C-alpha cells in the first residue's frame, strides 16, 4: 500500500488510522497524491467510520499514515471530546509551539484557545457541537497569533471523528486575503484620482446611515459637486489633460476635507465628486465645507506648464439619518446640484424641501399631461369678447382647464408651460381646437342670427411640431364651422421675425379665412414693422396698458397716449383691437372714447361654461 502511494496517481484513499499517531480514536483520512510526489493528508475530510469502511479497509501499514499526518503541509491536530489537543503534526507545532519545542508541546492545549474560538458565543457553541458529534463541520476565518507573535489569518476547519473528538486543520490564508484586499482596493477606487469610487462611496454612505440610525439622533451631510466648464477643457485639450485636472481636483478636495474634519471624498464618475459628512452637526457645518470647496477650486490649476481655471456647482443636503436612505439622499443632492447650476453655477445651494416639492409637482404634472388628454381630464371655459360700442358678445376666448384627480381644477399657468416644454402641447392643442370648434358650430346652429367668433390660443411649438394648417382644415371640415368664425391667437414673441414654416402656416391659414390675432401685444418686441408683413387681423392689447386707465382722478397719460396711438395705427392697417384685462366701468368708457373695438375682462365676465355664454348671447353684457 505504501508503495502504491508513490508509484501511481491516487485521487483519494479512505482508511482507518488506529492509534498510529498516539491516539486511541479511529478516524477516516482522505489522502491525495500524484506520481513521484509524497502524499499529503487533507485532514479536513474526516468523517464518521461506518461498518462498510471497516469491512472494506485492507490492512495498511500504520507507520505510513503516521508519516503522512506528521509531515503534512496542512497544520492538523487530533482534538479530544474535552477540546484538548491529543496530537499535533509538525506544521501545527511550527505555528503555535515555541521554537525548539518537542513533538508533545501542544498536547493538552486547548484547541479553542489556539484558534480563538471562544471570542464569539455562536462560534464556541458550534465548536462544542462538533466535539459532541452533533454538527457536521465548523469552518471559520480567524485572525490568530503565531508562537513568535506574528499575526496570522487562518481558515480553521473542525470535523467530528467517529469515536468522539474532532480533527482540527488550520490553513494560512493570509496571502489570499492580501490578494483579495488588493483586488478590492482596485475595484473600489478610481484609477485617475485614487479616490474611493461610486461603489465604495455608496457602501460607506449606507454604513454611515445605518450607524446614525442606530444612534437614534444621528445626522448626515452630503456635499455633491460637478465641475463647471470641464467638458470644454476635456474636448479642447484632450483626455490626458482632463485626467490630470481631475487628479488635481481630487487632491484639493482631499486637503479641504482633511482641514474640516477628515470627511470621505469620492469621485462618483466623470467630473462629479462627493464629500460625506458623518455625524453632521447641522446645515452650518455642511455649508462651511461647501464654501471651503468653492474657495479651494477657484485657484487656477498648473498643468504641464499651463494654468487652467474651473469652478464648481455644489448641491448640499443635510438631514436626520432616520427616515432617509442612500438613494433618497443622492436624489436630493442631485436635484440641489441642478438648482445650483440653474441659479448661475459657481455656487452652492442647500436642499429646500418646499422647492423640491414644487419640482416634484411639476414633474408629476409634466408626465401626466398626455395620459390626461387621453382620459378626458381637460375642459374648456369661455371668456366673452364684448363690443365696446353696444356691449354685445362678439366672440369668446377658449381657455383650457385641467380637472386634475388629485390637485383639483388647474388653470393654464400651471401646465401650459410644461406642455410646451415636453411637446404635449401639440396633442392638447389639437383637442382644444376640436372642442372649441365643435362648440362654436353648436352656437352657430342654435343662434344663426348672432355669430360668435371662437378665439383659440396656439403655441409656437404647435406650428413647428405639427402640421397646424392640416389640423385646422381637418377640424373645420369635421365640425362644419365656417373659417371666418375661428381666430387663432399667437403671442407677439412667437410671431416676431416669423419666417419659413411659421410664416407659410400663417399665410395659409389667412388664405383659408381663419383670423390671426397677436396676443399680449406690447409686452414683447413691439416691432411695428412686422404688422405690415404678417397676415394679422386683430391686435390684443396687454392688460398692463389697460391697468393704467385708472379712475379720472388718477389717470396715467402715458398709457392712454400709447393705447390711443396703437388703436389708431391698427385701424390704419385694417386691424381690429381688443383690450384685455378690463376691470372697471371707467376703463371701459375711456377705451370706448379712444376708439377701441372690443374688450375682455372681469368687468364683463370671468371665463364661464358654454351654457353660461349661451345665456349671455343676444343681450348686452353691460348697459
User: What one-character-per-residue DSSP string does 520-580 give?
Assistant: EETSS---GGGGGTS---EEEE-HHHHTT---TTS--HHHHHHHHHHHHHHHHTT-EEEE-
CA-atom Rg of the chain in angstroms: 43
Taking 90 as the threshold, does the pLDDT of residue 603 lie above it? Answer: yes
Could you tell me which of 568, 567, 579 has the C-alpha nearest to residue 604? 579
pLDDT confidence bin for 8, thresholds 50/70/90: very low
Look up residue 576 and give its three cell numbers.
381690429
> pTM of the entire structure?
0.61
Q: Are strands 272-278 and 219-228 parallel, antiparallel or unpaired?
A: antiparallel
Q: How far is CA 183 from the centre of its chain?
A: 29
- Where does CATH 3.30.450.20 sit in the chain? 2-177
Nearest to 311 by CA among 371, 217, 255, 245: 245
Residue 490: how many CB atoms within 10 A of its CB? 24
All three cell numbers of 371 = 395620459
Contact 200, 266 (CB under 8 A): yes
Domain with CATH 3.30.70.270 in the chain: 196-351
Mean pLDDT of 456-469: 88
pLDDT in tens, 287-336: 999 999 999 999 999 887 788 888 999 999 999 988 899 999 999 999 99
Spatial distance between the Cα atoms of 611 and 620, rounded to a whole number of angstroms: 17
| Architecture in CATH of 2-177 | 2-Layer Sandwich (3.30)
The mean pLDDT of 505-524, rounded to a whole number, is 88
Question: Residue 25: is its pLDDT beyond 70?
Answer: no
Predicted pLDDT at 499: 57
Mean residue pLDDT of the chain comes to 84
Predicted pLDDT at 464: 82
Q: Is 127 helix (H, G, I), strand (E, B) or coil?
A: helix
- Answer whether residue 174 shows pLDDT above 90: no
How far apart CA 172 and CA 142 sit, in angstroms, is: 10
445-470 average pLDDT score: 90
Strands 75-79 and 166-172 come out as antiparallel
Q: pLDDT tens across 53-97, in order?
A: 444 445 556 677 677 777 788 899 999 999 999 999 988 888 888
Confidence of residue 358 (pLDDT cuts 50, 70, 90): confident
- In this model, does residue 22 exceed pLDDT 90? no
Interhelix angle for 283-298 vs 239-259, to 10°? Answer: 140
- Residues 597-620: what's their mean pLDDT? 91
pLDDT grade, residue 212 (50/70/90)? confident
What is residue 526's predicted lDDT score, i.e. its pLDDT? 56
Judged by DSSP in three states, 619 sits in: coil
Q: Tell me, which fold does domain 428-605 have in CATH?
A: TIM Barrel (3.20.20)
The pLDDT assigned to 329 comes to: 94
Is 332 or 24 the better-scoring residue by pLDDT?
Answer: 332
Strands (E), 80-202: 85-88, 138-145, 151-160, 166-172
How far is residue 452 CA from its own chain's centroid? 51
pLDDT of residue 556: 67
* pLDDT for the residue numbered 496: 63
User: 364-423 pLDDT, tens per residue?
Assistant: 999 999 999 999 999 999 999 999 998 999 999 999 999 999 889 999 999 999 999 999
What per-residue confidence (pLDDT) applies to 543? 87
Q: State the maximum Cα–Cα separation within the chain, in Å, rounded to a whole number.
A: 130
Nearest to 432 by CA among 440, 443, 421, 444: 440
At residue 21, does pLDDT exceed 50? no
Over residues 180-189, the mean pLDDT reads: 83
CATH number of 196-351: 3.30.70.270
Q: Report the pLDDT value the prediction gives residue 38, as an integer from 0 to 100.
A: 35
Asked if pLDDT for residue 200 goes beyond 70, the answer is yes
The grid coordinates listed for 19 are 492509534
**More confidently predicted of 65 and 463:** 463
Phi, psi of 617 (to 5 degrees): -70, 140
Does the pLDDT at position 478 exceed 90? Answer: yes
pLDDT over 90 (residue 493): no
The predicted structure's pLDDT at residue 70 = 74
Q: What is the pLDDT, as a whole number, of residue 101?
A: 80
> What confidence tier does 551 reach under pLDDT thresholds 50, 70, 90?
low
Q: Identify the residue with better confidence: 380 or 525.
A: 380
Closest Cα to residue 260, out of 242, 246, 279, 237?
Answer: 279
Tell me the mean pLDDT in the region 426-447: 96
pLDDT at 106 over 80: yes
Residue spans in the chain of domains classed CATH 3.20.20.450: 428-605
Higher pLDDT: 102 or 10? It is 102
pLDDT of residue 61: 63
Strand pairing report for 515-521 and 166-172: unpaired
Pairwise pLDDT comparison (168 vs 47), residue with the higher score: 168
Distance between CA atoms of residues 518 and 541, nearest Å:
9
Amino acid at each position: 500500500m505504501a508503495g502504491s502511494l508513490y508509484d501511481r496517481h491516487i485521487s483519494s484513499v479512505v482508511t482507518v488510522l488506529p492509534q498510529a499517531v498516539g491516539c486511541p480514536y479511529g478516524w477516516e483520512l482522505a489522502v491525495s497524491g500524484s506520481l513521484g510526489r509524497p502524499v499529503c493528508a487533507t485532514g479536513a475530510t474526516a468523517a464518521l467510520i461506518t461498518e462498510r469502511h471497516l469491512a472494506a479497509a485492507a490492512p495498511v501499514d500504520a507507520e505510513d499514515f503516521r508519516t503522512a499526518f506528521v509531515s503534512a503541509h496542512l497544520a492538523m491536530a487530533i482534538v479530544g471530546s474535552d477540546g484538548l489537543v491529543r496530537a499535533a503534526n509538525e506544521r501545527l507545532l511550527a505555528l503555535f509551539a515555541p521554537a525548539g519545542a518537542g513533538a508533545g508541546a501542544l498536547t493538552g492545549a486547548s484547541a479553542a484557545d489556539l484558534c480563538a474560538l471562544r471570542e464569539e458565543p455562536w462560534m464556541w457553541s458550534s465548536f462544542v457541537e462538533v466535539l459532541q458529534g452533533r454538527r457536521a463541520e465548523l469552518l471559520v476565518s480567524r485572525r490568530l497569533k503565531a508562537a513568535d507573535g506574528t499575526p496570522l489569518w487562518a481558515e480553521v476547519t473542525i470535523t467530528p471523528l467517529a469515536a468522539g473528538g474532532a480533527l482540527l486543520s488550520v490553513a494560512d490564508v493570509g496571502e489570499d486575503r492580501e490578494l483579495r484586499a488588493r483586488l478590492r482596493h482596485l475595484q473600489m477606487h478610481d484609477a485617475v484620482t485614487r479616490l474611493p469610487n461610486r461603489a465604495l462611496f455608496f457602501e460607506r454612505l449606507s454604513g454611515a446611515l445605518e450607524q446614525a440610525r442606530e444612534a437614534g439622533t444621528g445626522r448626515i451631510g452630503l456635499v455633491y459637486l460637478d465641475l463647471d466648464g470641464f467638458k470644454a477643457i476635456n474636448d479642447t485639450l484632450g483626455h490626458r489633460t482632463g485626467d490630470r485636472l481631475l487628479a488635481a481636483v481630487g487632491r484639493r478636495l482631499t486637503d479641504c476635507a482633511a482641514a474640516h474634519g477628515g470627511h470621505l471624498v469620492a469621485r462618483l464618475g466623470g467630473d462629479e465628486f462627493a464629500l460625506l459628512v458623518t455625524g453632521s452637526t447641522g446645515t452650518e457645518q455642511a455649508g462651511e465645507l461647501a464654501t471651503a470647496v468653492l474657495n479651494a477650486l477657484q485657484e487656477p490649476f498648473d498643468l504641464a506648464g499651463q494654468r487652467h481655471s474651473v469652478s464648481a456647482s455644489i448641491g448640499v443636503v443635510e438631514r436626520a439619518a432616520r427616515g432617509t436612505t442612500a438613494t433618497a439622499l443622492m436624489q436630493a443632492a442631485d436635484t440641489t446640484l441642478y438648482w445650483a447650476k440653474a441659479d448661475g453655477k459657481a455656487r452652492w445651494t442647500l436642499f429646500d424641501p418646499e422647492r423640491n416639492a414644487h419640482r416634484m409637482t411639476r414633474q408629476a404634472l409634466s408626465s401626466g399631461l398626455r395620459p390626461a388628454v387621453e382620459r378626458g381630464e381637460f375642459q374648456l371655459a369661455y371668456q366673452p369678447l364684448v363690443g365696446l360700442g353696444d356691449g354685445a358678445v362678439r366672440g369668446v376666448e377658449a381657455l383650457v382647464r385641467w380637472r386634475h384627480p388629485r390637485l383639483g381644477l388647474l388653470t393654464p399657468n400651471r401646465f401650459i408651460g410644461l406642455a410646451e416644454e415636453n411637446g404635449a402641447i401639440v396633442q392638447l392643442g389639437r383637442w382644444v381646437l376640436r372642442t372649441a370648434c365643435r362648440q362654436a358650430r353648436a352656437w352657430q346652429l342654435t343662434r344663426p342670427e348672432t355669430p360668435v367668433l371662437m378665439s383659440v390660443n396656439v403655441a409656437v411649438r404647435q406650428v413647428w411640431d405639427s402640421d397646424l394648417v392640416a389640423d385646422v382644415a381637418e377640424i373645420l371640415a369635421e365640425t362644419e364651422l365656417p373659417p371666418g368664425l375661428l381666430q387663432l391667437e399667437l403671442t407677439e414673441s412667437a410671431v416676431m421675425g416669423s419666417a419659413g414654416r411659421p410664416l407659410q402656416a400663417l399665410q395659409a391659414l389667412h388664405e383659408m379665412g381663419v383670423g390671426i390675432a397677436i396676443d399680449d401685444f406690447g409686452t414683447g418686441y413691439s416691432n411695428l414693422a412686422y404688422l405690415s408683413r404678417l397676415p394679422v387681423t386683430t391686435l390684443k392689447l396687454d392688460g398692463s396698458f389697460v391697468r393704467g386707465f385708472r379712475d379720472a382722478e388718477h389717470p396715467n397719460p402715458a398709457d392712454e397716449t400709447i393705447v390711443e396711438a396703437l388703436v389708431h395705427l391698427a385701424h390704419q392697417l385694417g386691424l381690429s383691437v381688443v383690450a384685455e384685462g378690463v376691470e372697471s366701468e371707467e376703463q371701459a368708457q375711456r377705451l370706448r372714447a379712444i376708439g377701441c373695438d372690443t374688450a375682455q375682462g372681469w368687468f364683463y365676465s370671468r371665463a364661464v361654461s358654454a351654457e353660461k355664454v349661451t345665456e349671455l348671447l343676444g343681450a348686452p353684457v353691460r348697459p
